[in-house]
Amino acid sequence: MALSVEEVRRIAQLARLKLSADEEQRFAEQLSAILGYVEQLEALDVSGVEPMTHALAAGEAAPLREDAVLPCLSPEEALANAPAREATWFKVPRIIE
């Protein structure tokens, strides 16, 4: 399975990554090699096999916790690492262009 530079660009768009032309080229090659390697899974017959959708052991299923109010971060603590803020909000660039 070879990935074209156009496909790399499309995936980068989905992942919100702005890649340089150099990176697009390199990822097209490297991701193609990795996809070539994972192709071996196609050789396996997985019909009727249940997917392992979580990793908890049998009987370990997490019960729902009580719907109770617990201590949480104060607005100051939650905002302390914000790149930009105003009052008690995270500030972002213009959304409607």
d(CA 29, CA 14) in angstroms, rounded, equals 19
d(CA 89, CA 2) in angstroms, rounded, equals 45
Among 21, 67, 69, 73, binds another protein (CB under 8 A): 73
d(CA 25, CA 9) in angstroms, rounded, equals 10
Binding mask 78-97 for another protein (x = CB under 8 A): x-xxxxx-----x-xxxx-x
Q: Which is nearer to another protein, 62 or 69 (CB)?
A: 62
Q: Which is nearer to another protein, 41 or 87 (CB)?
A: 41
